[in-house]
Every structure is written in C-alpha cells, then in structure tokens.
C-alpha cells in the first residue's frame, strides 16, 4: 500500500535528519508496527517479531519506538492507569481519537468529537496555553458489562 511506503520514507528522512542509521532491526520493527492495526505494547510487539523468527532485544524495541514517535509514525496512548504498561499505535491506520475503557472487561471503544476538540481549543486560548497533544479517557462499564 502506498501510504505505508510513504511512512517508511518519512522515517528514513527522520533518521537522516538526525544522523541516525537505518539498521535491519529498525526496519523490521518499523514494518511490523505499520502492520499492526490495533493498540499494542512493547512486549506484544516483541513476541510478534519473535514468532516470525526475528529477534530484537527489548532495549532496541523501546529505543526504536521512541524514534518512531519522534518521527511521527507512532503515537503513545496511556489508556487507564490500571494498566501499567504503555500502549502504542501507528499513526497510519489510526487517526486521532479518544478512548472509553471498560473497567470490567477491558474493552476499548474509540470516539472523537469535533465539538469537544473545539471547546478544548477555546479553553486553551483563554489560558494562553498552546496545546500540543491531549488525552481524554473515560473509564466505566461497557454495554455488556453493566
């Protein structure tokens, strides 16, 4: 798919710009991340790779994810704090959205609201605050669990 190639070269440019190298490990991690269409955590990523016979160390996973974030290919979303691990998602398949998380079954429902977004901007304006990113999570019980 064309978009994927675009993201790959976006990452190449990022690496170049920072005098970083495009190692096999980084390539393999990047390709895998772009292929995951849901949330994932570093460990899940590592075991997916391992299942395909690619072994990359934990340290490299973390280091590469940081680069992917800086390069704009990945977004970090913390979900609720019952989970201690961080969650990531690639920016290709997933556009900006917020999460409702079910505290019973862990289901994640996504939502966006332009109205909320613009209210948010207004409030930032009032406080002369320049927003960079935000998270908005609602914890509760999903349809099935309450």
Partner DNA sequence: TCCTAATTGAGACTGAGTCGCAGTAGCAAT
Partner DNA sequence: ATTGCTACTGCGACTCAGTCTCAATTAGGA
Taking CB under 8 A as the binding criterion, the range among 21-29, 30-38, 47-55, 111-119 that sits at the site for a second copy is 111-119
For DNA, which is the closer residue by CB, 83 or 123? 83
Q: Do residues 41 and 88 lie in contact, with contact meaning Cβ atoms separated by under 8 Å?
A: yes
Contact 117, 95 (CB under 8 A): no
Say whether residue 62 binds a second copy (CB under 8 A): no
Answer with the entry of DNA, a second copy, none that 21 interacts with (C-beta below 5 to 8 A by kind): DNA
Q: Which neighbouring-strand residues pair with 112? A: none
Closest contact distance (angstroms) between CB of 102 and a second copy is 8
Distance CA 27, CA 39 (A): 20
Q: Which is nearer to DNA, 50 or 111 (CB)?
A: 50
Please provide the distance, in angstroms rounded to a whole number, between the alpha carbons at the two ends of the chain.
Answer: 41
Total number of residues binding a second copy (CB under 8 A)?
A: 34
Sign of CA dihedral 129, 77, 100, 80: negative
Determine, following the binding rule CB under 8 A, whether residue 69 of this chain makes contact with a second copy: no
């Amino acid at each position: 798919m064309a978009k994927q190639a675009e993201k790959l070269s976006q990452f190449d440019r990022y690496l170049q710009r920072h005098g970083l190298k495009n190692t096999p490990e980084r390539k393999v991690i990047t390709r895998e991340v772009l292929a995951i269409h849901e949330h994932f955590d570093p460990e899940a990523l590592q075991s997916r790779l391992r299942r395909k016979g690619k072994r990359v160390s934990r340290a490299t996973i973390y280091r590469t994810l940081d680069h992917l974030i800086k390069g704009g290919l990945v977004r970090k979303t913390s979900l609720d704090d019952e989970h201690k691990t961080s969650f990531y998602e690639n920016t290709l398949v997933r556009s900006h959205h917020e999460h409702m998380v079910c505290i019973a079954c862990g289901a994640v429902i996504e939502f966006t609201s332009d109205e909320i977004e613009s209210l948010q901007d207004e409030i930032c304006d009032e406080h002369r605050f320049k927003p960079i990113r935000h998270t908005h999570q609602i914890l509760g019980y999903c349809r099935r669990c309450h």
